[in-house]
Amino acid sequence: MLNPSSLSISPAMEIFPQFKKPLILCRKTIPGGYESVSTLGFTELAHLQDKDNGGAYRAVAAMVHGEHISFYECGFVSVQDTLWDKEGHHLFKSCYIEGHVDFIFGDGTSVYEDCKLNSIGSGYITAQKRESPQAESGFVFKSAELYGVGPTYLGRAYGPYSRVLFYQSKFANIVRPEGWDSIGEDPNQLTYAEVECTGEGADTSKRVPWLKKLDGTQELQYLLSPSFNDKDGWIEDQPTFY
């Protein structure tokens, strides 16, 4: 059984002292709407034992289900299933996310920009659930920093067309050489890519052979463009509190 006290959980309150004074900013517009959350900590350490995962503990710190939701300088702390990015168009900017297994998971169409990802044990960073080639969902990490304890996978398939991109991100030496796990899904249907990443963990020479080469492709341009997550301008239309 995994004892939570044996995991190297970082004191998020010390990393981001502003969590001590949570602030929620929310504004509605007509006919559309959006919600923005700033400097708020989400913590769930009342772990539930998962006997199917070697005794690991799982508890969702936050479930995000809805359209046009953004988080700025927020922290999400748990062990397994920390951040349930369930569904909708979301932005996570300068956030801190900590966990052990599948600690960013779901079927969201989301951009994670300038986020810190702290792995506290050997596991999986992401588990993205895209279920058809027509679905627009996926996780795009821009300028992320991955560090902590490993070895860990960058992701595993939670759906048959799972899609995750790490772009210009920095990996500590905690990433498994193979990088990704299809866990029984057809790897030719998955879109897992690393573009212009750096750090000791960014060596792709021993990655799975089905790692997508997106450099210079239209798909890369799409995933990095507003067409992926901001085609109706909802991010640009937010208050300038950040």
Q: What's the whole-model pTM score?
A: 0.82
Question: What confidence score (pLDDT) does residue 129 get?
Answer: 97
Q: What is the mean pLDDT of the chain?
A: 81
> Given 81, 85, 107, 181, which residue is catalytic?
81
Question: What confidence score (pLDDT) does residue 46 get?
Answer: 42
- What's the pLDDT band for 232 if we cut at 50, 70, 90? confident
Residue 39 reports pLDDT greater than 80 = no
Of the ranges 10-14, 18-22, 232-236, which one carries the lowest mean pLDDT score?
18-22
Q: Which domains does the chain have, with CATH numbers?
A: 62-228 (2.160.20.10)
> Given 50, 85, 102, 203, which residue is catalytic?
102
- What's the pLDDT band for 238 if we cut at 50, 70, 90? confident
Tell me the average pLDDT across 198-209: 98
pLDDT digits (tens, 9 = 90+) for 79-136: 888 899 999 999 999 999 999 999 999 999 999 999 999 999 999 999 999 999 999 9
Question: What confidence score (pLDDT) does residue 8 get?
Answer: 41
Catalytic status, residue 181: no
Question: What confidence score (pLDDT) does residue 172 get?
Answer: 98
Catalytic status, residue 102: yes
Residue 31 reports pLDDT greater than 60 = no
Q: Can you give the chain as a three-state secondary structure string?
A: CCCHHHCCCCCHHHHCHHHHCCEEEEECCCCCCEEEEECCEEECCCCEEEHHHCCEEECCCEEEECCCEEEECCEEECCECCEEEEECEEEEECCEEEEEEEEEEECCEEEEECCEEEEEEEEEEEEECCCCCCCCCEEEEECCEEEEECCEEEEEECCCCCEEEEECCEECCCECCCCEECCCCCHHHCEEEEECCECHHHCCCCCCCCCCCCCCCHHHHHHHCHHHHCCCCCCCCCCCCC
Residue 158 reports pLDDT greater than 80 = yes
